[in-house]
Structure 1
Amino acid sequence: MTDVSARPEDPPTSTTADTGAAGRTLAVASGAAFIAFLDLSVVNIAFPTIATTYPGTPTNTLTWIVSGYAVAFAALLTPAGRLADALGRRRLFALALAGFALTSLLCGLAPGAGWLIAGRVLQGMTAAFMVPAALGLVLAATPREKIGSAIGAWSAAGGFAAVVGPAVGGALVESLGWRAVFLVNVPIAIALIVPGLRLPVVDDTRRDSALPDPVGILAVALGLGAVIAAVTEGQSWGWTAPGTLLALIGGTALVVFALVRSTRHPEPAVAVSLWRNRQFAFANAGSFLFGATMFAWLLAGPMFLDTLWGYSVLESAAALTVGAVAAMVTSVLAGRITTPQGQRWAGVVGALMYTAALVWMSTDAFGPDPALWSAWVPAGLLGGGGIGIVITVLGTAAASSVPPQQFAAGIGMTVTARQGGGALGVAMLAAVFTAVPDDAVRAFHTLFTVCAVIGVAVALLLAVPSHARTADQS
């Protein structure tokens, strides 16, 4: 098994990194995060128009234009991070950017629905390689004491994508057509490649002598993809349908096989040894739980505005901007907290802020009558602000517990945990609305209550003292 401890022959790490280089690296990586996370949501706005372009294609097939990206992205994050540490983060980052530009072009020029779905899956795959490599570069170039600030800024870039996503998507579809939603990625990705290739070579703190286990990589990618696809699409496929059961059982078996194999292989596909560090394990568990409640809430927001309050796409986008802006601001502020105890209590406060917003939204204050300024805006500020804090604190906890030579692998595993929790959250939303089909207000209130309960669990997890998280595991 690969040793997770730093070795004497490792070159100097981020403690001696040049401040200017760290800033350039963060800027390039934030640009990559922006386009990667933008494409997780921006296509939702274009979907109705895309559906009219391919009237002969069933709707349940067309939904893979949205879910195909998300499934491929989540499935490959863990092995992508491991490969980035083995091949060199700068090299893989540049290749992934080029691939993202190419697959975005394929989506924009797709002659049919099948081509578009295939392009979206490939686009999600390249984004999965781009994200952990990008953040791994940032962590390697950033002094340890400033990692929280870097993660906060990087998280804010993802939050900015959420802010402008609906507006950008709506404007592009309105003025240039749905293909522009994909084609706009091409010049942005190309513009990032040149500065990406010029980043300092602090990404290769230690090259592994061999590539990670290819059998394990294939198993974990296919397994995670199958499980996430089943959880995401189970409601439409049918939870007891043969395809759903096969994906769930087969995918789980493949993931277990990959994990067991990784404990014995000299070059494991999954850096399972990182879980020996309690802080990293806690951060992964927190990311999974928070991903479940956060994704359910984020998806429920536009549904609530459309179904109950009758908002238009642009009105919904403006209302949703409140929480996204709050998350951007608090993620940057949380990143400035440098002490472990301060970060822990900031995380608890953030989780309780988020929970309080959900409790409020489960009351009659959020009913069929619009209450934008008296209810939605303050709840959005409270919940979005909490999200920004929790995401930054969990990311900082994970990054600070990982040795430099495994930055990308650790980040890949943490983001995978969040995306996996997110898939569960989407399934949870579908299950609630299936259980309460005839009363939309009650369904939303039930969902918000369940999300609040998970928020309390995250707060309790974050409240565990730091010394209990970092106890020796040997």
Structure 2
Amino acid sequence: MAFLDFTVVNIAFPDILRDFENTPLDTLTWVVSGYAVMFAALLAPAGRIADSIGRRTVLLCSLGLFTLASLICGLAPTIGLLIAGRFLQGAAAGGMIPAALGLILATTPRERIPRAVATWSAAAGFSAVIGPAVGGLLVRVLDWRWVFFVNLPVGAALLAGGLAVLPGQVRVAGARWPDPLGSIALGLGIAGIVSALTKGDHWGWADIRTLGLGLAGLLLIGAAVLRSRAHGAPAIDLAVWRSRTYRIACLGLAMFSANMFAWNLAAPLFATTIWDWTILETGGALCIGAVGSMAGSLSAGRLRTRAAQVRVAIAAALLFAVSNAIWASNLFGSTPNFWTGWLPAAILGGVGLGLGFTCLSTLAAGAVEPLKFAGGLGMTVAARQVGGAVGVAGFAAIMLSSAEPGSLSSFHYVFIAALAVNIVCALVVAALIRN
């Protein structure tokens, strides 16, 4: 639900724009970016809170809030209420993710953690990539409000199931509530950076709002780090970041996310504007990458050793690089080319994403103490979201700086940039071979 709602609204945005036609575009874009900002901002603090008061409590409360927020969004009569509902949805999603993953990994035998992370990554990757297809179907058959209403029965069923079968509280023995000031500074800092990256293409990269938010975000994160060095219950567990494996895995995840988010914007836009595919045709084609991602994740879950996970993560980055090379080639010209263009690129890219996310997430999990999974992995997912914001900003910057934004060549520039990032990602992850 959390990752699906991150991308599902993108395809419904034109219909929302028509319903609120008198609203400035800069205001309407907060329907998308408001969710992203709150999601990224609360992942790390929510993880530490889940470790201290109990992951089951945080998961179920966040799930209930997410379902309520979905109802608010679906019924919203004004753009202000819709945006407020999206902020609330994003905040709830930020609480669900670290609590759920921490609960899974803390109750999974150590030797089965790769399988658990694989299943998790398969669901997360599939839902993020399939979002535009689901959104397109709901918008065309029903109405954009059903993008939100569909969460209500799912949320109710998950709440009932969670109350019935989830294990008792899993928390760190003797853990204290994390430093409130440090947690607020960390959350606001991440929110500032993600806001600047997300809105920079609308406001302008030299605009005082963009620069101010970005600088304020960096300063607030710096303040949170300084407080965490001396505080008894720090907002950031700096011990986790001392692990070289954890740092490199987080950087690799951020790079994979940057490419995935850019692709999630570029691929459907390319199909609908350059190849003139319908929304449903585009959604069906996007499913190929989603299935490939799931297959890659489940395959990576079978890897038993750290060395194998590192090697496969490197191969995954190169697979995604090959996929982007195909997108940037003449196989993706002005004439639709499904069989020798879209199909192989989607399979290679999807499998690469699934393998990469799973292997790097498993490596990060292996560097975190089991009783600190929620806090440690909350920071991991936050790194992914910041990377995703960089990908969205990079996509917008490259498109707008092209001689003809939205032209075939402008899309090719995006995929060439993604190819370069994938190669750098492979080199970064290769540093783990020496560990």
TM-score, normalization: structure 1?
0.88
Distance 1:292 1:151 in 2: 20
1:205 and 1:404 in contact (8 A); partners too = no
Displacement, 1:162?
Answer: 3.6
Displacement, 1:294?
Answer: 2.3
Residues 195 and 76 of structure 1: CA distance in aligned 2, closer, same or farther (over 3 Å) = same
Distance 1:321 1:106 in 2: 29
Displacement, 1:163?
Answer: 5.2
Distance 1:77 1:101 in 2: 18
From 151, 155, 167, give the equivalent of 1:185: 151
Q: 3-state SS of the aligned residue for 1:448? A: helix
Distance 1:168 1:453 in 2: 30
2:42 and 2:94 in contact (8 A); partners too = yes
Superposed CA deviations along residues 343-369 of structure 1, whole A, max 9, x for unmatched, are 111111111111111122222221111
Counterpart for residue 15 of structure 1: none
From 415, 422, 434, give the equivalent of 1:448: 415
From 209, 213, 229, give the equivalent of 1:243: 209
1:279 and 1:466 in contact (8 A); partners too = no
From 167, 171, 177, give the equivalent of 1:200: 167
Q: 3-state SS of the aligned residue for 2:76? A: coil
2:398 and 2:413 in contact (8 A); partners too = yes
1:163 and 1:325 in contact (8 A); partners too = no
* Range with bigger deviation, 113-122 or 416-425: 416-425
Displacement, 1:409?
Answer: 0.8
Distance 1:415 1:226 in 2: 17
Write the letter of the residue equivalent to 1:158. A
Superposed CA deviations along residues 242-271 of structure 1, whole A, max 9, x for unmatched, are 211211111211111111111111111111
2:6 and 2:128 in contact (8 A); partners too = no
Distance 2:411 2:343 in 1: 17
1:149 and 1:332 in contact (8 A); partners too = yes
From 346, 349, 368, give the equivalent of 1:383: 349
Residues 465 and 426 of structure 1: CA distance in aligned 2, closer, same or farther (over 3 Å) = closer
Counterparts in 2 of 1:75-474, with a 5 A limit? 75-162=41-128, 164-197=130-163, 198-201=165-168, 203-208=170-175, 210-438=176-404, 440-466=407-433, 468=435
Counterpart for residue 38 of structure 2: 72
Q: 3-state SS of the aligned residue for 1:36? A: coil
Residues 465 and 219 of structure 1: CA distance in aligned 2, closer, same or farther (over 3 Å) = closer
Distance 2:307 2:422 in 1: 20
Write the letter of the residue equivalent to 2:423. V
Runs of 4+ in 1 over 6 A off after TM superposition: none
Q: 3-state SS of the aligned residue for 1:387? A: helix
Distance 1:375 1:325 in 2: 17
Displacement, 1:194?
Answer: 2.6
Q: Tell me the matched-pair count.
A: 433
Distance 1:465 1:156 in 2: 24
From 24, 37, 40, give the equivalent of 1:58: 24
Displacement, 1:151?
Answer: 1.0
Supply the RMSD in Å over aligned alpha carbons.
1.5
Unaligned runs of 5+ residues in structure 2 are: none
Write the letter of the residue equivalent to 1:464. A
2:309 and 2:360 in contact (8 A); partners too = no
Distance 2:432 2:29 in 1: 43
Displacement, 1:223?
Answer: 1.2
